Structure formats: structure tokens, C-alpha cells
């Protein structure tokens, strides 16, 4: 992967990920995507500013497109990157694909806000937090 602002993590499909039809349950993709986001921020050393402040990174919307089923023992690659940083919200794009073939299994757009616990509300993305997020911004689309 040439762009270091994009992060990839592999997840092996286990039996407990499956539904009665023998493929990954749609709700499990939310967990896979969340794991991808945590790994993205950890890899970029971007968790500390959030953990040291009363500002939380909060998901407010997720749109998922399911492209094909995933089955037991397949290895899925979750690619994660920030595609937009607006004044009050931002967007993370994620693509789940088969690691061996690159076939897209699912893709998602995740909208987030910054939440100030002291004010008990979402706040504008500005200052140090804006700078941090903009450093991670990718302006080109993922090839699908």
C-alpha cells in the first residue's frame, strides 16, 4: 500500500461470525469496521489526543453496501481512511475485501462528529483536533 494514510487490517472469518446461512452475519461487519477504525487511529498514533481530553470521536451514521458473502476461514482485509473533514463532521471510508483476491465484500461510509463531554454536545472540528484529522485526510478514492 503506497499511501500511509490508508490503513489495512486482516480479520479471519471464524465460526461465531456466521449466521444460519453459513456466511458472515451483516451485523458482524459493524464490528469488523470498528476494529478497522481502532487500528487506523492506533497505527497513526492519533488516539492519545482523544484519550487525554474530554473530546470523543463519535460515529453518528454508517452506510454499508454488502457486495458478496464472506465464508468461514476466509481472510478479510479492512482498509480504512479519512475522506472528508468538514466544519462539524467528517467521513471515514472503509472497504472490506478478500485478502487473496481483492474482491470487495462490503464498503462503508462512516460519518463522525467530535463530542465534548463537558459541554454534553457535538462541537466544531477546529484547532488541534482539526489539524490532527487533516493530517490523515486522503483526497483520492479507493480503487474498487
Which residues are identified as catalytic? Answer: 19
Closest C-alpha to 98, from 122, 69, 123: 69
| Cα separation, 3 vs 82, whole angstroms | 12
Count of Cβ atoms closer than 10 Å to residue 72 Cβ? 13
Count of Cβ atoms closer than 10 Å to residue 4 Cβ? 10
Cell of 110: 462512516
Give the residues across from 8 on adjacent strands.
79
Q: Do 38 and 94 form a contact (C-beta atoms < 8 A)?
A: no
Amino acid at each position: 500500500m503506497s499511501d500511509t494514510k490508508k490503513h489495512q487490517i486482516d480479520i479471519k472469518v471464524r465460526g461465531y461470525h456466521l449466521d444460519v446461512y453459513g456466511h458472515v452475519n451483516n451485523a458482524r461487519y459493524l464490528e469488523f469496521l470498528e476494529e478497522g477504525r481502532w487500528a487506523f487511529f492506533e497505527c497513526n498514533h492519533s488516539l492519545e489526543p482523544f484519550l487525554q481530553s474530554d473530546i470523543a470521536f463519535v460515529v453518528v451514521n454508517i452506510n454499508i453496501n454488502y457486495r458478496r458473502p464472506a465464508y468461514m476461514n476466509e481472510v478479510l482485509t479492512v482498509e480504512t481512511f479519512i475522506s472528508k473533514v468538514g466544519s462539524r463532521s467528517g467521513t471515514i471510508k472503509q472497504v472490506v475485501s478478500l485478502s487473496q483476491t481483492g474482491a470487495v465484500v462490503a464498503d462503508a461510509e462512516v460519518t463522525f462528529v467530535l463530542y465534548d463531554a463537558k459541554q454534553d454536545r457535538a462541537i466544531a472540528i477546529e484547532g488541534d483536533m482539526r489539524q490532527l484529522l487533516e493530517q490523515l485526510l486522503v483526497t483520492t478514492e479507493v480503487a474498487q
